[in-house]
Chains A and B, each alone.
Chain A
Amino acid sequence: MGAGLRLAQTAKLLLGVWMAGIVVAMFLVIPPYVGLGDAGRIIVMHVPTAWVTTVAFALSAFYSARYLWKRRAADDSGAVAAAEVGFLFCALATITGALFANIVWGTFWNWDPRETSILVLLLIYAAYFALRSALDDVERRRRLSAAYNLFAAVTMPFLLFVAPRLADSTLHPNCAFIQGSTCDGVWLETEGVRIGQLGDVVLALQGLEQRGDVAVAHVEVRTPGLQNVALLEPTFELASGKPADRPEFPGQQFLLAVEAVDLANGRALLNIEAPGTGLLSNSRTFWTFMAANLGFLGLFIWLYRLRADVLVLQERLARREVVHELPA
C-alpha cells in the first residue's frame, strides 16, 4: 500500500468517526431550542447538505466547462459525478427541510418560495440526467450535457440564494445561518415614521413606554388583505439590551421582537423572527453545525471521486470488451 493510499484510507476512516461524532452531538450535545424543541437539531443535517449542494453543482459546472475546453473524458465523468452527488444532497436538504416544515409549519409542503425554488433546481438537474440518457452518441452527449450543465449552474445561485429572498413572504428562517446575523428589521417612531413593513406584514408603532427595566412597544400588526389585525406588545430588556417577550403574529408562526430602543426619541427597531432564527447563537449548536459542514464536505468529496472513478472504470471495461470482440 502506497503512502498516498494509506493517507486516503486514514482520511476516510477519520471521516467515518467524525460523522458519527456529529450524529451523536446532534442528539446529545445540542440543546433543545425554545419554541422548536428537538426539531431544531435537524439544522445540523439540513443546512450543510444544502451548502454542499451548492459546492457540488458549482464543481460540476467547472468540470463541464473544462470538458468543453479540453474535451477530456475524465472531465465529463467528474461533471456527472459531482452533479449526481449534488442532486443527492439537494434531495436530502429538501427532505430534511420538509420534515422540519411539518413540525414547525404543520405541513410537509406548502409551496413556500424556498421550497419551490429548490424543487425547480432539482427538476433542472433531473433534466440534465434525462438529457444524458437520451443521447446515444457519446461525443454529442458529453458536449450537449456540458453546455446544458453550464446553464443549469447559472440558475443555481439565483434559485438557492436570490429567489427566496426576493419573495415578500417566506416562512424559511433566512437569518438563522450566521451567528450574530439578523434580518434588517425596521425602525419606527412614535412621532415620525410610525408605519413600516416587514415582509408582507404592516406594522404601526402605537406607543413606546418604559415599565421598570423593560421597554414595551405597542405595535399594531396587519397581515395581507387585513385578514388579521392585532395589537402586540413586544418588550425589550434595557439592562441586558436584548429582546424579552416576543409575541406571535396573528395566524402566523412569526414572532415580533424589539431589537433596539431609543426611548428619548421614541424609536424602536422592530423585527420578525421565524422559528429557527437564532439557532446558531448557542455555541454548542454553532460548533456542531460547523463540524457538520466540514464533515458533509468531506463526504461529498469522497462520494463524487468514488462515483467518478466508477464511471471511468465502467468506460474502461466497455472498451476492454470491445477489444475482446475484435477478430483475432
Chain B
Amino acid sequence: MNFLLDPAIALYTALAVALSVWIGVFIFLWRVDSAARELRRRLDDESPARPAAAPRATLEVRGGRTQQPVSITEPKAE
C-alpha cells in the first residue's frame, strides 16, 4: 500500500479519499432526507384517522341522570 503515498501519486490518493468521503456523506444525507420525507408523508396521511388531539367529551346517561362530561385531553402539546 506504500505506493499510494508515493509523492507522484499521493495527491491522487488524497483526492480519491476526499471524493469517497464526500460521496459517502452525500448518499447518507440523501437517504436520511428520503426517510424523513417518507416519515412525514406517512404521519400526514394517518393524522386524520388518529383520535383528535383537541379535548374530547363524552356524555353518558346513567339511571336517567346526566353525568358530568368526561374529557380526554392529551398532555399539553410541546
Interface string of A1-36 (1 = CB under 8 A from B): 000010000001000100110011011100000000
**Interface presence of A166 (CB below 8 A):** no
Q: A168–B66 Cα gap in the complex (Å)?
A: 83
- Residue pair A322, B74 in contact (C-beta under 8 Å): yes
Question: Which of the four size classes fits the interface of chain B?
Answer: 20 to 34
Question: A301 at interface (Cβ–Cβ under 8 A)?
Answer: no
Q: Which residues of A contact B78 (CB under 8 A)?
A: 73, 138-139, 315, 318-319
State which of A108-116, A212-220, A305-313 sits at the interface with chain B: A305-313
Residue in chain A with minimal CB distance to B10: A38
Q: Is B50 at the interface (CB under 8 A from chain A)?
A: yes
Residues on B with C-beta less than 8 A from A302 are: 29, 33
**A239 close to B (CB within 8 Å):** no
Question: In the docked arrangement, what's the CA distance between A125 and B76, Å?
Answer: 29
Knowing A138-B78, A323-B51, the reply to whether A20 touches B23 (Cβ < 8 A) is: yes
**When A16-B26, A27-B14, A306-B36 are in contact, do A317 and B43 touch as well, CB less than 8 Å?**
yes
With A23-B18, A26-B18 as given contacts, are A313 and B51 in contact (CB-CB < 8 Å)?
Answer: no
Residue of B nearest to A13 (CB): B30
Determine whether the beta carbon of B43 is less than 8 Å from that of A12.
no
**CB neighbours of B74 from chain A (8 A):** 319, 322-323, 326
- Could you give, for residues 48-77 of chain B, a 1 whenever the CB lies within 8 Å of some chain A CB and a 0 otherwise? 001101000000000000000000101101
User: In the complex the two chains form, what is the Cα distance from A139 to B23 in whole Å?
Assistant: 39
The smallest beta-carbon distance between B29 and chain A, in angstroms, is: 7
Interface size on A, residues (CB 8 A): 30
Within A279-328, which residues are at the interface with B (CB < 8 Å)? 302-303, 306, 309-310, 313, 315-320, 322-323, 326-327
Chain B residues near A20: list those with CB within 8 A.
Answer: 19, 22-23, 26
A210 to chain B, nearest CB (A): 41
Determine which residue in B11, B23, B33 has the highest number of CB atoms from chain A within 10 A of its CB, and name it: B33
B15 on the A face (CB < 8 A): yes
Given A306-B29, A313-B36; A38-B11 close (CB under 8 Å): yes
**Which of B19, B26, B30 is most buried by chain A, counting CB atoms within 10 A of its CB?**
B26
* Residues of chain A within 8 A of B50, CB atoms compared: 320, 323
Contacts of A316 in B (CB 8 A): 43
Residues of B contacting A26 in the complex (Cβ-Cβ under 8 angstroms): 15, 18
In the bound complex, do residue B36 and residue A319 qualify as a contact, i.e. CB atoms below 8 Å apart? no
What sequence of 0s and 1s flags, for each residue 4-36 of chain B, a beta carbon within 8 Å of any chain A beta carbon? 000000011011001100110010011011001
Which A residues are CB-close (under 8 A) to B33?
Answer: 12, 302, 306
| Residues of chain A whose beta carbon lies under 8 Å from any beta carbon of chain B | 5, 12, 16, 19-20, 23-24, 26-28, 38, 73, 138-139, 302-303, 306, 309-310, 313, 315-320, 322-323, 326-327
Known: A306-B29, A313-B39, A323-B74. 15 other contacts (CB 8 A): A20-B19, A20-B23, A20-B26, A26-B15, A27-B12, A27-B15, A28-B15, A303-B29, A309-B40, A313-B36, A319-B78, A320-B43, A323-B50, A323-B53, A326-B74
A-B CB contact pairs (8 Å), 25 listed: A12-B33, A19-B22, A23-B22, A24-B15, A24-B19, A26-B15, A27-B11, A28-B15, A306-B29, A306-B32, A310-B32, A313-B36, A313-B39, A313-B40, A315-B78, A317-B43, A318-B78, A319-B74, A319-B77, A320-B50, A322-B74, A323-B50, A323-B53, A326-B72, A326-B74
Residues of chain B having any CB pair with chain A under 8 Å: 11-12, 14-15, 18-19, 22-23, 26, 29-30, 32-33, 36-37, 39-40, 43, 50-51, 53, 72, 74-75, 77-78
